[in-house]
Amino acid sequence: MTGASRTGCAVVTGGTRGIGAAVAERLRADGWTTATLGRSTGCDVRDPDQVAAAFDAIEAEHGPVLVLVNNAGVRDDGLAIRMSHEQWRTVLDTNLDGAFHCTKRALDSMLAARWGRIVNVSSVVALRANPGQANYAASKAGLVGFTKVVAREMARRGITCNAVTPGVIETDMTADVADAIVEHVPARRAGRPEEVAAAVSFLVSEEAAYVNGTTLTIDGALSA
């Protein structure tokens, strides 16, 4: 049994391609009315006003947001010593601040319903650092800490908050690095977006009600 029998909807940020698109497709298959947010759909998650307006519009059409998957993310790699302030801020503002803005808005609806599911899409780099990704690693590690705090704050309200940390997944974002990293993956292959989506599907289900504040790693044993 999923939570899709509840009156409400799901929102996936960065949901137009890659992992986000696979998650949105899986949630729809699970019975959730699912909306996607991203710059291509007119919402920059770095801007709390745009986030609030987008959630208002979604809820006016589909009811309260009861499931939120914070997947929007960017990379802008470079050695820390050479990284510009703009590179740092662009990645942190999107990957971490964006999740904060969306979570804060979604919690209003979840608290009213006394039920909610939040899944933050972090990364294996939060657990196993990659040189040249100081900004990306910081943002994704921040998501793990953020996940734990929200879980503890909301646990008595019927709301769970968990994270997934994908490893090398076949997406546009990893196209330039996948071949170099796959040789280090014990499974000897890249993961598929659908495999991440399956994990998210479980975490938003009724069966996962007691799974809260955890991080589920999906990386073919890369971080083991």
- pLDDT tens digits for range 19-50: 999 999 999 999 999 999 988 889 999 999 99
> Closest Cα partner for 215 from 167, 176, 179, 162?
162
Look at residue 146 and tell me if it is in a domain.
yes
CATH number at residue 13: 3.40.50.720
136 assigned to active site:
yes
Question: What SS3 state is found at 178?
Answer: helix
- The amino acid sitting at 11 is V
Query: Which stretches of the chain score pLDDT less than 70?
Result: 1-3, 173-178
Which pLDDT score, from 0 to 100, does residue 140 have? 98
Range of the domain at 134: 3-218
Q: Please, what sign has the CA dihedral across residues 188, 193, 194, 198?
A: positive
Euclidean distance between CA atoms 43 and 60, whole angstroms = 16
209 within domain boundaries: yes
Nearest C-alpha neighbor of 37 from the set 67, 61, 71: 71
**DSSP label at 170?**
S
Q: Are 8 and 114 in contact (CB under 8 A)?
A: no
Residue 92 in domain: yes
pLDDT on residue 62: 97
Q: How far apart are alpha carbons 99 and 77 in whole angstroms?
A: 20
Q: Residue 171's pLDDT is what?
A: 85
**Is residue 223 situated within a structural domain?**
no
pLDDT tens digit sequence for 161-176: 999 999 999 987 666 6
Q: Is residue 75 part of a domain?
A: yes
24, with CB counted inside 10 A (0-12, 13-18, 19+), is buried
Of the residues 55, 115, 136, 146, which is catalytic?
136
What total of structural domains would you count in the chain? 1
224 located within any domain: no
Rounded CA-CA distance 220/224 in Å is 9
User: What's the CA gap between 3 and 203, in Å, rounded?
Assistant: 10
The residue assigned the tokens 């947001």 is 65
